Chain A
Amino acid sequence: MTEQFQGYLRSDGRKGIRNTVVVAYLVECAHFVASKIVAGFEDEDVQLIGFPGCFPNEYAARVMGQLCTHPNVGAVLFVSLGCESFDKVRVSGTVARTGRPVETLVIQRSGGTAKTVETGRFWVRSALEEIANVERAPMGVDELVIGTICGGSDGTSGISGNPAAGKAFDILIGEGAACIFEETGELISCENIMAERAKTPELGEELRAAVQKAERYYATLGYGSFAAGNAAGGLSTIEEKSLGAYVKSGDSQISGLIKPGDVPPKGGLYLMDVVPDGEVRFGFPNISDNAEIVEMIASGAHMTLFVTGRGSVVGSAISPVIKICANPDTYRALEDDMDVNAGDIIEGNRSIAEVGQEIRDLVVSVAKGAQTKSEALGHREFILTYKSFDPIGPSCLPAI
């Protein structure tokens, strides 16, 4: 019997572990006004997200729609300048069809900065009251979607934090959860061993192809998914970083390949292909860690496990981030920002299995409402940029 907790029941049957009012700007020109609206709610769960571009992008439109109907979201206020290309009618319709309170303010028609801020705060206040009564329903680990990423990796990540996250994934998948790992650019050199773990040979081919696509993409850009700090931390090559990152996926069978915004159809382990399709456009696939976290959330992640060696402090809008510190020196330096000290494994104080179990138990407490370190500190980072994807192929989600 899996552990139960109280979720927020949404009209599509999915359940959330948070009940957030999201304020979303639809172009950079509306960012300031949207952030001023959010600033009026220091002590309530009101969060800022947005898309900066004025030119249309199908990926961004889809991700925005998925984020605004994420089970952790209770109500949405869109803030538009008025002349940008983002299809605000379509995205607000997507939200309205779920029964969530939704409103769109157009600055050019709402009297400018001060009046739009005032109107927006008034709307958010009433939305907070309305969603306080959202139906609660029992929820189990088998209804959770959990993402994992690593950022600020160093030579400890692949030895302690990532194997511990992989162990947590194995436990959670055993309990029926859907778990997602990603960053195909950081799986370069692992494609063959990974393909052998696929549920079907056809899926294995898709996994291999996704990594080969990433390899070509990064080769064109001239940089691998490798930051200067990775080298300072003892990592010498992208394949060394990849092998360390790959172990985050644990030992479970791989059930499917998804792209950002695709929600796993059931429990199991999924690889997210984050590298755009087609010729290289719009620059680097994910320009920083939060872009990866946002894609996890767009695919339904209730929370994200973030393994760091050098020491990241970020959280995220919409879904909490659990920070797992791989490096014992970094943990001591940044303890207030870290949820789990996987550095214990390096120092020989605890086993990978023990830390993996701690992560799994923390996932359940966070699902029950406990705040992660970054959540309590107020971190609500968010970034969404231009990308383009083709839909996944027919072999990517094999039926039972």
Chain B
Amino acid sequence: MTNPFLHLHPEDNVLVARATALAGTEVRLQKITATLGQSIPLAHKIAYRDIEAGEHILKYGMPIGIATENIAAGTHVHIHNIRSAYTPTHALQDANGQSPETSK
């Protein structure tokens, strides 16, 4: 396995982890090579470039949501910093997989 992340479409501003990528892994992004500040689980996303609040998140070349804050290249992109343009997302855990009662 060469690259731990997939860039599914040339226009995508996110990458998808093809296996769990540990904190400290170096990842080549659009303009920079970043070191992951946290582990990224299989199939989760990171920003391929800096994304501004309000920008569409593109995966498969298609919009999958809207950034709710500025997202720096190389950071986790998930329910804590993007939202649906349709119905709200329901989750029992936060973006890092922590349940409210266990993270207290």
The 6 A-B residue pairs with the shortest CB-CB distance, nearest first, are: A155-B43, A224-B87, A240-B64, A231-B91, A237-B84, A234-B43
Greatest chain B CB density within 10 A among A189, A215, A231, A244 is at A231
As a 0/1 sequence over residues 72 to 83 of chain B, the CB contacts with chain A under 8 angstroms (1 = contact) are 000001110011
Chain A contacts of B77 at CB under 8 A? Answer: 236
Chain A contacts of B64 at CB under 8 A? Answer: 189, 236-237, 239-240, 243
How close is B99's CB to chain A, nearest CB, in angstroms?
Answer: 10
How close is A250's CB to chain B, nearest CB, in angstroms?
Answer: 15
Chain A contacts of B8 at CB under 8 A? Answer: 159
- If A239-B65, A347-B1 touch, whether A228 touches B90 (CB-CB below 8 Å) is yes
A residues with CB within 8 A of B: 154-156, 158-159, 188-189, 215, 218-219, 222-224, 226-228, 231-234, 236-240, 243-244, 309, 327-329, 346-348
- If A228-B90, A228-B91, A232-B93 touch, whether A237 touches B44 (CB-CB below 8 Å) is no
- If A227-B90, A228-B91 touch, whether A155 touches B42 (CB-CB below 8 Å) is yes
- If A226-B87, A237-B82 touch, whether A243 touches B93 (CB-CB below 8 Å) is no
**Once bound together, how far apart are the Cα atoms of A394 and B73, in whole Å?**
50
Establish whether residues A243 and B59, one from each chain, have CB atoms under 8 Å apart when the complex forms: yes
Establish whether residues B84 and A239, one from each chain, have CB atoms under 8 Å apart when the complex forms: yes
Establish whether residues A155 and B45, one from each chain, have CB atoms under 8 Å apart when the complex forms: yes
Chain B contacts of A158 at CB under 8 A? Answer: 60
Establish whether residues A234 and B44, one from each chain, have CB atoms under 8 Å apart when the complex forms: yes
- Cβ-neighbour of A243 out of B62, B89, B92 (below 8 A): B62
Chain A contacts of B79 at CB under 8 A? Answer: 231, 236
Main secondary structure of the interface of A (DSSP, over half): loop
**Once bound together, how far apart are the Cα atoms of A237 and B97, in whole Å?**
16
Chain A contacts of B23 at CB under 8 A? Answer: none
Chain B interface category by residue count: 35 or more
Q: Which residue of chain B is the closest to A155 with respect to CB atoms?
A: B43
Establish whether residues B42 and A156, one from each chain, have CB atoms under 8 Å apart when the complex forms: yes
- Cβ-neighbour of B60 out of A222, A238, A243, A348 (below 8 A): A243
Chain B contacts of A189 at CB under 8 A? Answer: 62-64, 85-86
Chain B contacts of A219 at CB under 8 A? Answer: 86-87
How close is A393's CB to chain B, nearest CB, in angstroms?
Answer: 25
Establish whether residues B87 and A218, one from each chain, have CB atoms under 8 Å apart when the complex forms: yes
- Cβ-neighbour of B6 out of A159, A231, A244 (below 8 A): A159
As a 0/1 sequence over residues 55 to 70 of chain B, the CB contacts with chain A under 8 angstroms (1 = contact) are 0010110111100000
Q: Does B49 contact A (CB under 8 A)?
A: no
Between-chain CB contacts (< 8 Å), 16 pairs: A155-B16, A222-B87, A224-B89, A231-B78, A231-B91, A232-B92, A236-B45, A236-B64, A236-B65, A236-B78, A237-B64, A238-B86, A238-B89, A240-B65, A327-B42, A348-B1
**Once bound together, how far apart are the Cα atoms of A159 and B62, in whole Å?**
14
Given contacts A222-B87, A224-B89, 6 further A-B contacts (CB under 8 A): A215-B86, A231-B79, A231-B92, A234-B16, A234-B44, A243-B60
